[in-house]
Amino acid sequence: SKAHFGLVGLGVMGENLVLNAERNGFSSVVYNRTYSKTESFLLGRGLGKSISGAKDLKELVNKLERPRRILMMVKAGPATDAVISQISPYLEEGDLLIDGGNALFSDTERRVEELESKSFGYIGMGVSGGAKGALEGPSMMPGGTKSSYESVEQLLTKMAAQVDDGPCVSYIGPGGSGHFVKTVHNGIEYGIEQILAESYDLMKRMCGMTGDQMADVFAYWNSTEELSSYLVEITETCLRTKDSVDGTDLVEKIMDKAGQKGTGLWTVISALELGASVPTIYASLNARVMSSLKSQRVYASTLLKEPLIGSYELGTPSDGMSPIMDAVVLSTIASYAQGMEIMRIASHEYNYDLHMPSIAQIWKGGCIIRSRLLVHIQNAFQKDPQLKNLLLDSWFLNQVDKRIAGLAKVVSYASQAGIPVPCFSSTLDYINSYRTSRLPQNLVQAMRDCFGSHTYERTDKEGFFHTEWLN
Ligand code: NDP
């Protein structure tokens, strides 16, 4: 008999997703460009399961029930286009391709149009959760035509992570919206990772704490309503892990250069294009760029002289390093708020019609940015679907009230000590700007009118005005 669904691409993600589907009762046929990988998978982790292999794409297509559902988990970019053009000749009307890779959403937009014009279905689906999530239950963000989604809804619903109020998958919207939302997810992830790294740097360099002492603080943070999350949990693990050779903290042996594959950059580019203000997320991207200038930084540290770090009171481990926790909580909230802001504008500009409470809901489990905060984010958007900024919701307003002094203290001490805290300081400026009813851009407008006759609006009367400033 024919199999339920096909998989192209037996990388770590593909392997785990197909095993996940099989465990949930869906038989499959797998294909990989390099056939030896298919063979070793079938004789290894795939042995004894309702999974069979295909040597080529024609065989894959022939072994599937109709309408066919084929998941592509290949390297994003040209590889995805190659697979689409190689498989298309064998597809028939109504067959559905799903791209689960980290595609650029505008590529997905183009592919949806191309394939739908040939009467095939196409779903661009963001998948988050890494290898473990793929196997045990990822968070999935599928976008495309609603009817295409419906034909795989049962499969995806069973494969997804489950939280108290349902599976971590739901229809996102048309075109490239699924990949867009995944991109923003990754932008938020960049933010939170940098925020946690900044807190580690302060505890290490300003408070002289050891890996285990810092790990204890992260363990405490992970027990709180505000910070309980997957990323805080794994930070504790990373800080506790010792080098197997000499037993010292392993993180201290790791090169301080962070890589990136593009999604953080795409988030920031989209934000700039859409006019969304995302300083915390941008700061995290720039921090990775700065980190990659290792040899320049080493040289500059001898000329620009590394600062002498004094001693500063930033709380105690028993109070969870209270001001640092304030900084981490508000900056994490700012990352989510800025991510939601990009999506709010994109929803309108790209006609995605995104449903914010559902997006918060499907991020609560399976994905890298899962956290207890998302419960409050979901509540906030459920209460007010038109909410302009997360910071305006009462639960988040209260957090700002309680914690802004701690954040300001951390930023000010860090600046005095010469320790960079780009996400913390950007967050402080973000909140301070957002809560300022009169910013100094009146003067910017005056300058623009002075040198370029760009005109300005007035606070006391309607219309556009020009002054001959230089007369
Ligand atoms: P990789 O990104 O390393 O991709 C490997 C797979 O792509 C292999 O099966 C490889 O085949 C195939 N491939 C590469 N080029 C081509 C080509 N030109 N034609 C056909 N097949 C090709 O594997 P991952 O499993 O890590 O990721 C798969 C996708 O999922 C990527 O888009 C990734 O961005 C995304 N993703 C990854 C996550 C992760 O945590 N790793 C999380 C979420 C999404 P071959 O064996 O022949 O080289």
Q: What CATH number has the domain bearing residue 66?
A: 3.40.50.720
Name the residues annotated as catalytic: 182, 189
Assessment of whether the complete model's pTM goes beyond 0.90: yes
- CA 270, CA 346: separation in Å to the nearest integer? 9
Cα of 261 from ligand 1 centre, angstroms: 13
Flag whether pLDDT at 471 surpasses 80.
Answer: no
Tell me whether strands 139-144 and 121-128 are parallel, antiparallel or unpaired. Answer: antiparallel
Name which of 8-12, 15-19, 309-313 the model is least confident about: 309-313
Task: Please compute the mean of the pLDDT values over residues 305-313 and round it to a whole number.
Answer: 86
Flag whether pLDDT at 151 surpasses 90.
Answer: yes
- 114 and 46 in a single domain? The answer is yes
- 463 and 416 in a single domain? The answer is no
Q: Please tell me if the CB atom of residue 9 comes closer than 6 angstroms to any atom of ligand 1.
A: yes
- 453 and 402 in a single domain? The answer is no
Tell me: is residue 454 an annotated ligand-binding position: yes
- 146 and 234 in a single domain? The answer is no
Tell me: is residue 2 an annotated ligand-binding position: no
Sequence-distant (6+) residues with CB within 8 A of 196 are 218, 231, 232, 235, 328
pLDDT at 270: 97
- 331 and 233 in a single domain? The answer is yes
Task: Please compute the mean of the pLDDT values over residues 282-300 and round it to a whole number.
Answer: 97
Nearest CA to ligand 1 atom 29: 101
Task: Please compute the mean of the pLDDT values over residues 220-228 and round it to a whole number.
Answer: 98
Q: Please tell me if the CB atom of residue 14 comes closer than 6 angstroms to any atom of ligand 1.
A: yes
Q: Please tell me if the CB atom of residue 360 comes closer than 6 angstroms to any atom of ligand 1.
A: no
Nearest CA to ligand 1 atom 13: 74
- 240 and 145 in a single domain? The answer is no
- 381 and 264 in a single domain? The answer is yes
pLDDT at 436: 98
pLDDT at 201: 98
Cα of 14 from ligand 1 centre, angstroms: 8
Is the model more confident about 312 or about 143? 143
Task: Please compute the mean of the pLDDT values over residues 72-77 and round it to a whole number.
Answer: 97
For 75-94, the pLDDT digits (tens) are: 999 999 999 999 999 999 99
Flag whether pLDDT at 150 surpasses 90.
Answer: yes
pLDDT at 290: 97
Q: Please tell me if the CB atom of residue 34 comes closer than 6 angstroms to any atom of ligand 1.
A: yes
Cα of 363 from ligand 1 centre, angstroms: 23
Q: Please tell me if the CB atom of residue 23 comes closer than 6 angstroms to any atom of ligand 1.
A: no
- 156 and 292 in a single domain? The answer is no
Share of the chain above pLDDT 90, in %: 96
- 300 and 425 in a single domain? The answer is yes
Tell me the CATH number at 247.
1.10.1040.10
Tell me the CATH number at 458.
1.20.5.320
Q: Tell whether omega for the bond before 67 is within 30 degrees of 0, i.e. cis.
A: yes
Strand partners, 29: 6, 52
Cα of 80 from ligand 1 centre, angstroms: 9
Mean pLDDT for the chain overall:
97
Q: Please tell me if the CB atom of residue 135 comes closer than 6 angstroms to any atom of ligand 1.
A: no
pLDDT at 261: 81
ipTM over 0.95: yes
Cα of 201 from ligand 1 centre, angstroms: 34
Q: Please tell me if the CB atom of residue 101 comes closer than 6 angstroms to any atom of ligand 1.
A: yes
Task: Please compute the mean of the pLDDT values over residues 273-297 and round it to a whole number.
Answer: 97
pLDDT at 326: 98
Domain count, the chain: 3
Tell me: is residue 10 an annotated ligand-binding position: yes
Q: With beta carbons less than 8 A apart as the criterion, state whether 134 and 12 touch.
A: yes
How is residue 4 written in tokens?
């339920």
Q: Which of 75, 136, 265 to probe ligand 1 with, by most ligand atoms within 8 A of CB?
A: 75
pLDDT at 341: 97
- 148 and 187 in a single domain? The answer is no
Flag whether pLDDT at 310 surpasses 90.
Answer: no
Task: Please compute the mean of the pLDDT values over residues 46-72 and round it to a whole number.
Answer: 97
Domain hosting residue 454, numbered range: 440-471
Share of the chain above pLDDT 70, in %: 100
* Domain finish residue from 128, 150, 175: 175
pLDDT at 234: 98
pLDDT at 259: 83
Tell me: is residue 74 an annotated ligand-binding position: yes
For residue 307, what pLDDT band results from cuts at 50, 70 and 90?
Answer: confident
